[in-house]
Amino acid sequence: MKSLVVFFSLENNTKTIAKAISDELDCELLELKSKKQYPTSGFKKFLWGGKSVLFKEKPEILPLDVDLDKYDNILIGTPIWVGTFAPPIKTFIETNEIENKNIAVFVCHGGGGISRCYKDLEKQLPNNKFKGYVEFLEPLKKDTGESISKVKKWAKSLDLK
């Protein structure tokens, strides 16, 4: 069964975890990039990210060269913004037909608010089978090696058949 790791990362935390999953499962990696860049630091980062979530924005993302029909398993990675997934993930979900897939979710955050993210993704992706969730608290600021070990263990534990 073919697997694809799809992710959005603002500060490379989610990208680091996505790459480790891709390496562990020997699967393809697809990074979502918004056409308009979000601020990456300071007050503006929180203002723009929070506004995007609260107003349910669907930012334009750069064109993707992927046929999702080729994949049985989709692993989705996102930072947590205002308690849920980042708006570029929403754009990806709403512009692609994602059904009858095994879905696994990994999130990176600065603290708390993750349970709503999982519930929101399940609502956005009905008609799929959710296989697992895992969270990482600031993997690049904390012990990155520990996060990589955790993600490898999680990836191996997924029942992606």
- CATH code for the domain in which residue 135 is found: 3.40.50.360
For residue 113, the tally of other CB atoms under 10 A from its CB is: 14
Res 60: pLDDT:
83
List the single range of 6-10, 24-28, 77-81, 92-96 with lowest mean pLDDT. Answer: 77-81
Res 101: pLDDT:
97
Q: Is the pLDDT of residue 62 over 80?
A: yes
For residue 39, the tally of other CB atoms under 10 A from its CB is: 13
**How large is the C-alpha radius of gyration of the chain?**
15
Contact 5, 21 (CB under 8 A): yes
> What is the span of the domain harbouring residue 74?
3-157
Total domain count for the chain? 1
The residue among 77 and 58 whose pLDDT is bigger is 77
pLDDT digits (tens, 9 = 90+) for 75-111: 999 998 777 898 999 999 999 999 999 999 999 988 7
φ/ψ of residue 45, rounded to 5: -60, -50
pLDDT digits (tens, 9 = 90+) for 130-146: 999 999 988 988 878 88
